Amino acid sequence: MLASCYIDAIALAAKHDCHRVALPAISTGVYGYPIDLAAEVAIRATSRALSTHKSVQEARFWLYDETAYNAFSAALTILND
């Protein structure tokens, strides 16, 4: 379900001719989804969606603290290796 949030967000951006999107760390606040797992899901899903919707040129993650930033940075590094 978490992956579909990111995939749907990119699909909606493409539908509305948006070339850039900003995304939060969905479900990691009040809903308590573990940030390390959420980061990996978010990076994978967003990457897959961007490859499908070429008109969306950029997706940025706007993260609320250093812990979230570090988790997303680590997930990005791992997935790019």
What region, left, alpha or beta, does residue 48 occupy, with left being phi > 0 and alpha being psi -120 to 50 degrees? alpha
CB atoms within 10 A of CB 73: 15
CA nearest 33: which of 71, 78, 81? Answer: 71
pTM as predicted: 0.91
Q: What is the pLDDT of residues 19-71, one digit of tens each?
A: 999 999 999 988 999 999 999 999 999 999 999 999 999 999 999 999 999 99
The angle subtended at Cα 14 by Cα 39 and Cα 79, nearest 5°, is 25
Task: Print the domain residue range for 40.
Answer: 2-80
Q: What is the CATH number of the domain that holds 59?
A: 3.40.220.10
Q: If pLDDT is split at 50, 70 and 90, which confidence band does 11 have? A: very high
User: In total, how many domains does the chain have?
Assistant: 1
Q: What is the pLDDT of residue 81?
A: 73
